Every structure is written in structure tokens, then in C-alpha cells.
Amino acid sequence: MSRTARLWKGVGALMLGGLLLSGVTARAAEPPPLTRQLTELGRQALAQGEPTQARTFFLKALQIDSNNDEAQRALSRLARVRRVAFQEPDASGATMPAPGPAAAPPAGESPAPAPADSPDAPATPAEPAAPNAAVPPAEEPILGVPAPAAEGVPAVERPAQATLEETSRMADILRQQLTSDIRQRQQEAFNLVNSGQPEAALNTLRLAQTVVRSATDVDEPTRNALDRALQAQILGTVRAEERITQDRAEALRREASAEQQLRGLDLLQRNQQTVSTMMVQFDSLMAQGQYNVLYAGGMGDIVATTAPFYEARMLAQRARALAPSHAAPRAGVFVAQTMGFLAQELAYEQLKEFRFMLSFQDVDRAAVPFPDTSTIEYPDADVWKVLSENRIRRYGKAVDLLDRDPKTKSILAKLDEPISMSFANETPLEDVLKYIKSATQGPNDTGIPIYVDPVGLQEAEKTMTSPVTLDLEGVPLKTTLRLLLKQLG
């Protein structure tokens, strides 16, 4: 094996390790597309002098993306490259043609070593091959590079291919990243379900499922496994959502039931307090009724005296309606009703006894005879005054007991009213009568109708134009008319 091949082999391993490390570092930050990574690896291989590995990277990039312009241009450049393969001499002692002389370097400068794959690189003496050494398999031909000139010439040993391992490593990295991302989303959805947010958990899982189905750079078995896991968790989350909804509904039902129980207890407590207050009032009314009955002793208004018993009975009935199961209101109704009737009965009994005694007293008083010196006995002045007021209120000041019509009563009432008569000078009788009629006019009548008898005027030798003189204040109309007739004779 030539020293150049051994050198390439060592450099290739170092170069591949650097590429792998650089690729992993790049993926840790933000993973670029796979085709771009392969193209970058091919470009770095060309920079390191590994056209074979570069060609493999470019072909893999084109296999994934046939429209990769950068990979196509790189392969076109590789097709125009011609390398000179430094091979060991064969067994017959034939040697490869020597290359042309290299250009002399400037004075004072040492010549720079040419690259190993450069055509101007000097040939390195090859180690003799073993007599029975196996011939290595021929390398895959490169576009634009001619095949070996003769058969039986051993091919130059090439460095081991590392593109498949790199691709597998990159695929593992993508798979691990996707798996880690999906696991984090699943854990987040699990936490959301535990915190009572199944809707947000479902949204998270559906987004994760979309990410898995759109991750075409990950192998299909991994995507299918993640998709199945997400689908199973989605179904579990849906069941959890139904369970949470039922739990919430049950909690609301229990809360409503508790509130209803509290309202019922509050109403019961308020009713009990109201009943207690009403029964206190009941006791007060019963005591007041007993006091009234004992104080009156059957005198006065018996119904008004026993009214507290009736009020106590109505109060007990209202308390019984609020608390039907309580014994106190029911007993209060019976006691108030019984005590009320008993109090009235006792009052009437006392009144009956008292008036019975009065009646016997009247009999005895009526049996007293009248002496001849006192044939008529009038009542006291106060009693007589009351009798007169009642008679005047009923019949007026009439001397008889005839009942008159309302118009006549109105005329008699106006005759008793005073009217101002301001006729200091002589005024015709006709004008004075008109004034009296207008002065006694009311809202429902036209005044007192006054009729003048012409025969009487003629006998008195007077007329309607006869002058009269009256100047009175605060005198009733009846008296005023009497004075007016006296002036007419």
C-alpha cells in the first residue's frame, strides 16, 4: 500500500470525526434540512481533499432532493477533475510514467509540498507487495475518471466510506429530537388534564400529531409509533374530558343541592323565629284581654273589651300556618277562642245581673206615689238639655213633630241665618226683596222665594215702590222680615 493511501486513510478518519462533531453541534442549535447538511458535508470533504466521499454525499443529497442545484453543480465539477493515481509497480517491474518537472521556486524559498491528490505531487516510493497478497477490489469508477489501463494492476486502497454512518447518525438525531419533543408535549397534555383543562390538552396533542405526520425527515416506523401513542392519549384525554365534565356537572348539582338545603334551613329558622315572636305577642294579647274583662266587670262595650282575645286567636292561626307541626300555635288557637267566648259570656252574665237589679230598682222607684203638691216631676236640667238637642237634631225647631221635606228644611234654616241689611237710606221695597233673595242664594237653589200679597199691600195703602229703611248686622233673616213688615204697617 502506498504511503499516500495510508496518509489519506488517517486524514479521512480525522476529517470524518470533525465533520460529525461539527454536524452534531449544528444540529444542537437549529437543525437544517438533511439535503443541506449532506451538501455541506460534501463541500467540506472537497475542501479536505476527499472527492470520493464528497461525490457520495452529493449523490445522497440528489437522491433525497433531485432539485438540489448545489449538489448538481458540485458533481459537474467533480466530473471534470482528473486525478493521477499513484500505484505500486507490478511484479514484472514496470513502473508508472514519471510526472513532468515541477517549476522551480523563487530564490531563497523552499519548494512547498504539493497535495497528495495533486498531479504535480512527487511520486512516493511504494512498498513492495507480498507475493501472495490478495488484490483489493476495484474502486467504484468516478464520473470523468478513466478506468485502469491494464488488467492485473492492483487498485489504490481508498479510505473507508463513512457517509452511511453519518446519515444513520443524523437520522438518529432527528428521531431522538422528534421523540423528545413529542414526549414533552404528551407530558404537558398530561399535566393539563390533571389541572382540569382537557380542552387545552386536546389542542396540544392534536398539534403534536400534526408535527409527527409532517415530519417526513424521520423514518416511517418511528412516526407511526408516535402517531399511535398520540392517538391513544387523545382517546384517553377525550374520556378524561367526559369524566371531568361529568364531575363538574355533579359538583354543580351538589352545590345547587347544598344551596337549596341552606335556603330551606334558613327559611325554617326564620319561620321558627317568626313563630316565637308571634307567640310572645299572643301571650301579651291574652293578658290584655283578661285585664280588660276584669277591669270592665261587665260594663261598657263588651265586644271592645274582649277584642284582644280575637286578635290573639288570629295571630295563633297565622303562626300555625307557618309551623303546622308545632303544638304551641294549635294550642293558642283553642285557648284564645275558648277564653274569648268565656270572657264575653261572663261579661254578659255580669251585665244581666246588674241590669236585673236595676230593673227591680226601677220597679221599686215606680211604686213611689206622687203627692198632691207635686203632680209633674221633670228630670234634671242636664237630661232635659240632651232630650232637647236630640229633638232639634231630628225635627228642627218646629213646635210640632211633623217631618218636613228637604226644601222646606232649607228655607227654615236660611231664615235662622243672619243677613247684613245696609239700607240706612230710604230704599224701595222691591229692591230690598231682590237683595234678600240674592243674599240667600245657594249652590243648589236660587234663594228664598218671597211672595208679596198685593191685596195686603193695597189694604195697607203700600206699593212695591214704597220706601223702607233697615240698617242691621248679625240679625236673623226671620227677625229682619218681621221688622220690615212693621214698617209697611
**339-387 confidence digits (pLDDT tens):** 999 999 989 998 899 999 999 999 998 888 878 787 787 888 999 899 8
Contacts of 371 (CB under 8 A, 6+ apart): none
Residues 356 and 275 in one domain: yes
Per-residue pLDDT at 285: 93
List the CATH number of the domain containing 58.
Answer: 1.25.40
Residue 435 covered by a domain: yes
Residues 421 and 357 in one domain: no
Cell of 395: 225635627
**292-301 confidence digits (pLDDT tens):** 988 888 888 8
Per residue, the 3-state secondary structure of the chain, as one string, reads CCHHHHHHHHHHHHHHHHHHHHHHHHHHHCCCCHHHHHHHHHHHHHHCCCHHHHHHHHHHHHHHCCCCHHHHHHHHHHHCCCCCCCCCCCCCCCCCCCCCCCCCCCCCCCCCCCCCCCCCCCCCCCCCCCCCCCCCCCCCCCCCCCCCCCCCCCCCCCCCCCHHHHHHHHHHHHHHHHHHHHHHHHHHHHHHHHCCCHHHHHHHHHHHHHHHHHCCCCCHHHHHHHHHHHHHHHHHHHHHHHHHHHHHHHHHHHHHHHHHHHHHHHHHHHHHHHHHHHHHHHHHHHHHHHHHHHHHCCCCCHHHHCHHHHHHHHHHHHHHHHCCCCHHHHHHHHHHHHHHHHHHHHHHHHHHHHHHHHHHHHHHHHCCCCCCCCCCCCCCHHHHHHHHHHHHHHHCCCCCCCCCCHHHHHHHHHHCCECCEEEEEEEEHHHHHHHHHHHCCCCCCCCCCCCCCHHHHHHCCCCCCCEEEEEECCCEHHHHHHHHHHHCC
Per-residue pLDDT at 107: 40
Which whole number is the average pLDDT over 418-428? 88
Last residue of a domain, which of 30, 58, 79? Answer: 79
Per-residue pLDDT at 370: 79
Model confidence at 149, in pLDDT bands (50, 70, 90)? very low
**28-52 confidence digits (pLDDT tens):** 344 567 888 888 888 887 877 778 8
Residue 159 covered by a domain: no
The pTM score is 0.34
Top pLDDT among 49 and 10 is at: 49
Residue 8 covered by a domain: yes
Total number of domains in the chain: 3
Instruction: Of 148-162, 216-230, 352-366, 468-482, give the lowest mean pLDDT range.
Output: 148-162
Residues 283 and 357 in one domain: yes
Residue 431 covered by a domain: yes
Residue 301 covered by a domain: yes
Last residue of a domain, which of 329, 345, 361? Answer: 361
Last residue of a domain, which of 340, 361, 382? Answer: 361
Quote the domain boundaries for residue 29: 3-79
Residue 277 covered by a domain: yes
Residue 64 covered by a domain: yes
Residues 281 and 352 in one domain: yes
Residues 278 and 352 in one domain: yes
State how far the Cα of 332 lies from the Cα of 397, in Å rounded to an integer: 57
Per-residue pLDDT at 398: 61
Please list the residues that pair with 467 across neighbouring strands. Answer: 428
N-term to C-term CA, the chain:
187
Top pLDDT among 147 and 425 is at: 425
pLDDT of 247 over the 50 cut? yes
Residue 283 covered by a domain: yes
